[in-house]
């Protein structure tokens, strides 16, 4: 016994020595990173260098295999080294991190202005102005009478999951559904349960900022695939495949797209699914605008890919944003991981809200869809008259035109002063400062007023 304790002591002593050694070498690496930061700053070179990063990642993987280290652990370790290097370089460099101005920031400013008595036309948020189905109100009152206000199954009440499974079709059942507080939490629970620190996901920009926010929350890295107005917002699937490395775990899709209204054609979707399959990646498909579709659209579910997760919501379909009910659809294994996050963070979704959603599902939302299409057509005609470039939306609730001159933030701020709230394009990606997002969640008359103000502000800029 004593003998073996001695053995332990010797081993522990070695651990101490090796730990000191690790710290010293790591510090050497940090010093080098600092120097590189200085050189880059002098040359005005961007701190991030994907190519160099990729190369070092490949090296570390090969080395891990060679020395018998778990690749997953090696990549995790490398990642915290890379993050610290970036951190140190940013300190040395003149590049500053500026808080991003998003549609929510403008919404909040607009609300503050309203509180001072100013009238604002809200064309910045994706919150329909029409009402939820009347039976939703009845269901609310009923839920209280029937004492339906208790903890529910973490995944959601069985009846609601049954109804969602039936609506979605394709042979799924309630076990493939998790009811979440809004589509946002389905995104949050999918990303935080399926990705870990140092792993990567690919987001196609322009994009709703939530995907990156959720990735940041668990220390996962967001790689950006940019699309352009010139290419009609269609992602280059070759480029997509080129971005994949051993740390990549997920591709995020969002079609019909917020903010562009783009819907992908079958061929492109098929390509993306094949790429995901080839590399064993999760496909998170945020389809909360799936009802608002004016072109041919197929859900990722049609492609029958086991590692796909569909996000749906009652917010847009039934104008039920403030009820905070959405859902995720995936295989049982993924659903149980997402439900686990839900159990830790919120226990379950408020039961009266689930009852309200259940009642809503019986209602056909097609009138809402027609109305939205009509408004988007109206917006597009107005934009054409203003000679702004814009890809006509094939779905969702937004137009995303290019500004003829200047950047989004000053123009959005000037518009807000004049009582019109728009979302700055750069809220959906750093490279979209020349764009704004116009939400069609207002009556046509209001949209007309707002767009007229926008036209006059843009004329002034010319």
With CA atoms as reference, report the closest residue to 199 among 226, 225, 174, 218. 218
C-alpha span between 426 and 394 (Å, rounded)? 21
C-alpha span between 64 and 52 (Å, rounded)? 18
Long-range pairs, 66-71, Cβ under 8 A, ≥24: 71/246
Angle at 406 between CA 400 and CA 408, to 5 degrees: 45
**Least distance (Å) between residue 183 CB and a second copy:** 10
With CA atoms as reference, report the closest residue to 236 among 211, 268, 212. 268
Rounded to the nearest 5°, which phi and psi values hold at 298?
-125, 135
C-alpha span between 201 and 245 (Å, rounded)? 10
Tell me whether residue 256 or residue 326 sits nearer to a second copy (CB atom). 326
Tell me whether residue 10 or residue 306 sits nearer to a second copy (CB atom). 10
**Least distance (Å) between residue 424 CB and a second copy:** 17
**Least distance (Å) between residue 147 CB and a second copy:** 7
Which pairing describes strands 248-253 and 200-205: parallel, antiparallel, or unpaired? Answer: parallel
Distance of alpha carbon 306 from its chain centroid, rounded? 21
**Least distance (Å) between residue 41 CB and a second copy:** 11
**Least distance (Å) between residue 230 CB and a second copy:** 32
- The two structure tokens encoding residue 275: 């790429």
Tell me whether residue 59 or residue 266 sits nearer to a second copy (CB atom). 59
C-alpha span between 264 and 172 (Å, rounded)? 24
**Least distance (Å) between residue 50 CB and a second copy:** 14
Question: Quick one: DSSP state of residue 295?
Answer: S
**Least distance (Å) between residue 348 CB and a second copy:** 7
Torsion angle, alpha carbons of 352, 314, 344, 152, to 10: 30
Tell me whether residue 94 or residue 387 sits nearer to a second copy (CB atom). 94
**Least distance (Å) between residue 339 CB and a second copy:** 12
Tell me whether residue 29 or residue 118 sits nearer to a second copy (CB atom). 29
Tell me whether residue 177 or residue 458 sits nearer to a second copy (CB atom). 177
8 A C-beta contact, residue 446 and residue 121: yes
SS3 state at 459: helix
Tell me whether residue 7 or residue 417 sits nearer to a second copy (CB atom). 7
Tell me whether residue 23 or residue 306 sits nearer to a second copy (CB atom). 23
- Crossing angle of helices 332-345 and 183-194, rounded to 10°: 110
């Amino acid at each position: 016994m004593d003998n073996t304790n001695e053995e332990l002591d010797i081993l522990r002593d070695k651990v101490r020595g090796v730990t000191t050694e690790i710290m010293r070498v790591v510090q050497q690496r940090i010093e080098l990173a600092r120097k590189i930061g200085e050189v880059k700053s002098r040359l005005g070179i961007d701190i991030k260098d994907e190519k160099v990063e990729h190369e070092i990642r490949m090296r570390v993987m090969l080395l891990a295999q060679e020395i018998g280290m778990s690749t997953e652990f090696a990549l995790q370790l490398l990642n915290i080294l890379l993050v610290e290097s970036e951190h140190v370089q940013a300190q040395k460099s003149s590049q500053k991190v500026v808080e991003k101005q998003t549609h929510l920031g403008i919404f909040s400013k607009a609300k503050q202005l309203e509180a001072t008595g100013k009238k604002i036309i809200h064309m910045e948020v994706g919150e329909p102005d029409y009402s939820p189905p009347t039976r939703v109100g009845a269901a609310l009152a009923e839920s209280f009478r029937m004492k339906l206000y208790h903890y529910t199954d973490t995944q959601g009440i069985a009846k609601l999951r049954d109804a969602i499974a039936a609506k979605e079709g394709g042979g799924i059942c309630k076990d493939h559904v998790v009811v979440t507080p809004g589509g946002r939490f389905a995104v949050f629970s999918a990303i935080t349960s399926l990705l870990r620190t140092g792993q990567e996901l690919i987001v196609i920009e322009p994009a709703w900022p939530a995907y990156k926010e959720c990735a940041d929350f668990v220390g996962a890295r967001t790689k950006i695939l940019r699309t352009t107005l010139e290419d009609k917002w269609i992602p280059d699937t070759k480029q997509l495949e080129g971005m994949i490395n051993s740390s990549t775990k997920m591709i995020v899709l969002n079609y019909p797209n917020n903010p562009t209204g783009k819907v992908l054609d079958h061929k492109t979707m098929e390509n993306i699914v094949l790429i995901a399959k080839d590399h064993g990646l999760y496909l998170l498909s945020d389809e909360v605008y799936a009802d608002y579709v004016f072109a041919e659209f197929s859900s990722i579910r049609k492609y029958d890919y086991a590692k796909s997760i569909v996000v749906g919501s009652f917010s847009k379909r039934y104008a039920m944003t403030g009820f905070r009910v959405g859902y995720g659809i995936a295989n049982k294994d993924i659903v149980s991981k997402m439900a686990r996050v839900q159990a830790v963070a919120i226990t379950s979704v408020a039961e009266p809200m689930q009852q309200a959603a259940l009642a809503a599902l019986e209602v056909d939302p097609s009138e809402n869809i027609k109305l939205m299409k009509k408004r988007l057509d109206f917006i597009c005609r107005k934009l054409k008259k203003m000679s702004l470039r814009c890809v006509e939306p094939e779905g969702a609730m937004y137009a995303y035109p290019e500004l003829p001159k200047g950047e989004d933030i000053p123009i959005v701020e000037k518009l807000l002063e004049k009582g019109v709230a728009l979302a700055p394009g750069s809220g959906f990606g750093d490279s979209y400062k020349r764009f704004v997002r116009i939400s069609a969640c207002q009556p046509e008359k209001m949209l007309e007023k707002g767009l007229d103000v926008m036209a006059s502000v843009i004329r002034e800029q010319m």
